[in-house]
Structure formats: C-alpha cells, structure tokens
Amino acid sequence: MKTLIIVDAQNDFMPGGSLPVPDGDKIVPVINRIQDKFNLVVATQDWHPQNHISFASNHPGKSIFEEIEVAGKPQTLWPDHCVQNTDGALFHPDLQTERWEAIFRKGTDSKIDSYSAFYDNGHLKSTGLAGYLKEKGASQLFFCGLAADICVYYSIYDAFKEGFACFFIEDATQALDLEGFKEIKKELIHLGIQFITSEEI
C-alpha cells in the first residue's frame, strides 16, 4: 500500500516562522497535488512543551544553534518553535488535511528531542507510527515535508531500518542546510532509498 508521510509542515518552519526553512512554503501546493495518489496519508507534528530541552531560551548563556550534550548525545539548541497550542505549531493554513487519516505528534517529552517521526533521538520511546503503518498494511512509504535534512532525514532513516520501502519526494521537501543535505542525499541513496519527484509517483 502506498502511503504518504507529511513531516512537520508547520507554520514555525515556514517563512516568517521562528525556525524558517528557506522556501518552505513552496512545498505546500506540491503536497496538496499529490495526496490523491496515495491509499493512506498521515502527518507528523512537532509538539513541544515550552520548557523543551532543545530550546536555547531554556539554557541561560547559550546561543541559538550552539551545540550541547544531552544524555551523551549532541543536541543543537534551536529557537523556541512548535510550542504546544501556539499558532507556530499549527499546520500551514493552505495545506489540505481532509485525506489525513492520522497525525502523530513528536517532541512532546521536555527532556529529549525527537526529529524522527518514529522515535525520539535516543530511540527510547516510539511514537507508535511504525506499528500503525504495519497494521494498516503499508509497504511503500513516500516522505515529504520539513526540513529535508533534519526531521525528514531522520524519519526516512528510521523507516528504512523498520523494513519499509522508502521514497524521498525531492520537490515536496526543503532543507535548512542545503550543503549538508547534499551529503545526506548521498548517504540515503547508498542505503537504497529512492529519490523521486512528485511527477514520478
């Protein structure tokens, strides 16, 4: 079954948001256009408490994009973003959500970040998405959303490890760091993940 995973297409990651991905809003019409090509459509939503450990504002003396260590792992400090029940955490207003069957929230634990749609960054807690998809009979997962080099990357990597056939829809994602994304793309292609455009679905 062909399944579309829409990752974090939220206001704070769009131009004008607190953590904007360049041209992030340009993916919205593409995502709207392709949804009818799938048997199942699900979305993820970054949903942070205000005291989240990844926010630079919660670490006095630290700066945005500085790196610290949390539970033995590197942690980038971000601007406050996608805080629960704020406008920034809402999906882009032009996004068509009628066909979405489920929304999986992540980053809800204040003590650990969660880039992937499947697990937190320490792989301590599952979001339940993998089990949901397997129960639904999903076999082919097509990924889009924001940001290509962070949450989409970690999500597709975990999906691959879970045994799903994975496809990266390039024109339905945008990267925060374009140069870094070039290296990520090489890594994913090496794993066997297919990069396609929306026209190839």
> Is the backbone peptide bond immediately before 147 cis, with ω within 30 degrees of 0?
yes
CA 140 distance to own-chain centroid: 17
Which are the contacts of 5, defined by CB distance < 8 A and separation ≥ 6? 42, 43, 44, 117, 141, 142, 143, 144, 145, 155, 159
Q: Which residues are catalytic?
A: 8, 106, 151
Which single residue is written with the structure tokens 């807690």? 125
What is the rounded distance in angstroms from the CA atom of residue 41 to the CA atom of residue 37? Answer: 10
Cross-strand partners of 40: 3
Which single residue is written with the structure tokens 């090489």? 186
Q: What SS3 class is residue 185?
A: helix
What is the rounded distance in angstroms from the CA atom of residue 133 to the CA atom of residue 36? Answer: 18
